[in-house]
Amino acid sequence: MRFLIAGAGAIGAYIGARMAQAGFDVTLFARGPHLRAMQERGVQVKSVDGDFVARPTIAGSLEEAGPMDVVFLGVKAHGLPQLAPQLSPALGPDTTVVSTQNGIPWWYFEGFGGDWEGMRLERVDPGGVISSAIEARRVVGSIVYFSTEISSPGVIHHIEGNRISLGEPDGSRSDRCRRIAEALIASGLRCPITARIRHEIWVKILGNASLNPVSALTRATLAQMVRDPGVSSVIRNIMQEVEAVSRRLGMELPVSIDQRMAGAEKVGEHKTSMLQDLEAGRPMELEALVGAVVELGERVGLPMTCTRTVYNCTKLLAQCAAQPQPK
């Protein structure tokens, strides 16, 4: 099988490096200084599990990569509208596309059934640009449970975790999921296949839609937020609103809010990805993680009062952060 990591950032480059180290035919598509550094020195991984250097094929264009068997979408959700229309050179008749994005994915309501079948969220898939470029039949969902960052161009710092769940949107246990999982497991990752990928997505959203924006507003770690009585109350209110949306869609979550809060506290003095992006001057995943939940709440008739308040404050924070500072 030929694998492509389309958008070899922190997550994608780590997956690609692990697969290349295990001997798989994998190509990483990247841009800018990160591309040049990987072409010159390979992908350097710094990890508590052991440092290593991998030398997958590095491509600066999708045309030179050519058709693939499996494409991992390694960009963050707000990068997909730009990436998706460029993917056609990598998509053969039977190419599988693995989405790794946080939040509500663009394919979520394809094959969902009932009143919500085919619904498109504008904050996730503006103008339908992603769904027009990637056919729903190609999609395998995934949820990433490890933390990585680019410490310098071509250098990936693996902080913790090694699990990535896979699941067909229709809940089936397909041969293609099994083959992809086997490759990831052989590369040193844990890769369970779930028949309830949509439920698992909501469990992660429960934390992402609450902890991430509040951390950006407060600059606090997970443990600091959960242990602060006032802030933890805000986070619980958001979680309750998120849980209410999931129930409207028929999703009964397998974990409680208390369990989710306890899990966050257990991680400790860790900064969320949104806070890391804010501090690094990068765009935050606000729309996919929070804005989409607010939009979906509107669609199902829920006010989302607390979530909307935090979303609006964080959106203004992002706008202010993007403005050039006066000298």
Statement: 198-318 belongs to CATH 3.30.565.10: no
pLDDT at 325 over 80: no
User: What mean pLDDT is predicted for residues 166-185?
Assistant: 96
- Element holding 303 (H helix, E strand): none
Which DSSP string do the residues of 110-139 spell out, in sequence order?
A: TT--GGGTT---TTTSGGGHHHHHS-GGGE
Least confident of 130-144, 217-231, 311-325: 311-325
Residue 49's pLDDT is 87
Residue 313 or 9, more confident: 313
Residue 23's pLDDT is 97
Q: How confident is the model at residue 159 (pLDDT cuts 50, 70, 90)?
A: confident
Q: Coil, strand, or helix at residue 236?
A: helix
Q: How confident is the model at residue 160 (pLDDT cuts 50, 70, 90)?
A: confident
Closest CA to 124 of 81, 84, 168: 81
What is the spatial distance between Cα 76 and Cα 122, in angstroms, rounded to a whole number? 16
Catalytic residue of the set 204, 266, 315, 327: 204
Q: Model confidence over 211-236: pLDDT tens digits? A: 999 999 999 999 999 999 999 999 99
Amino acid at 19: M
Q: Please report, rounded to a whole number, the percentage of residues in the chain having pLDDT higher than 90.
A: 88
Q: Model confidence over 74-113: pLDDT tens digits? A: 999 999 999 999 999 999 999 999 999 999 999 999 999 8
Residue 327's pLDDT is 62
Residue 324's pLDDT is 76
User: What mean pLDDT is predicted for residues 192-218?
Assistant: 96
pLDDT at 294 over 80: yes
Residue 322's pLDDT is 87
Q: Which two tokens stand for residue 75?
A: 């960009």
- Cα–Cα–Cα angle for 236, 117, 134, rounded to 5 degrees: 95
Q: Quick check: 142 and 99 in contact, CB under 8 A?
A: yes
What is the spatial distance between Cα 7 and Cα 46, in angstroms, rounded to a whole number? 20
Residue 149's pLDDT is 87
Q: Please report, rounded to a whole number, the percentage of residues in the chain having pLDDT higher than 70.
A: 99
Q: Quick check: 94 and 141 in contact, CB under 8 A?
A: no
How would you classify the pairing of strands 155-167 and 57-59? unpaired
User: How high does pLDDT run on average in the chain?
Assistant: 94
Q: Coil, strand, or helix at residue 221?
A: coil
Amino acid at 82: Q
Q: How confident is the model at residue 270 (pLDDT cuts 50, 70, 90)?
A: confident
- Element holding 24 (H helix, E strand): none
What is the spatial distance between Cα 287 and Cα 25, in angstroms, rounded to a whole number? 34
Residue 28's pLDDT is 97
Tokens 């949104």 map to which residue?
274
Residue 129's pLDDT is 97
Q: How confident is the model at residue 326 (pLDDT cuts 50, 70, 90)?
A: low
pLDDT at 48 over 70: yes
Strand ranges in 208-289 using DSSP code E only, listed in sequence order: none
Query: For this structure, is 76 an active site residue?
Result: no
Q: Model confidence over 104-127: pLDDT tens digits? A: 999 999 999 899 999 999 999 999
How would you classify the pairing of strands 155-167 and 43-47? parallel
CATH tag for 2-195 (out of 3.40.50.720, 3.90.1150.10, 3.90.550.10, 3.30.450.40): 3.40.50.720
Q: Where are the domains of the chain?
A: 2-195, 198-318
Output the CA–CA distances (angstroms, integers) from residue 72 to 101, 143, 215, in the order listed: 10, 12, 28
What is the spatial distance between Cα 109 and Cα 326, in angstroms, rounded to a whole number? 44
Amino acid at 111: G
Q: Quick check: 188 and 218 in contact, CB under 8 A?
A: no
Amino acid at 295: E
Contacts of 308 (CB under 8 A, 6+ apart): 294, 297
Q: Which two tokens stand for residue 46?
A: 């710094």
What is the spatial distance between Cα 30 and Cα 75, in angstroms, rounded to a whole number? 10
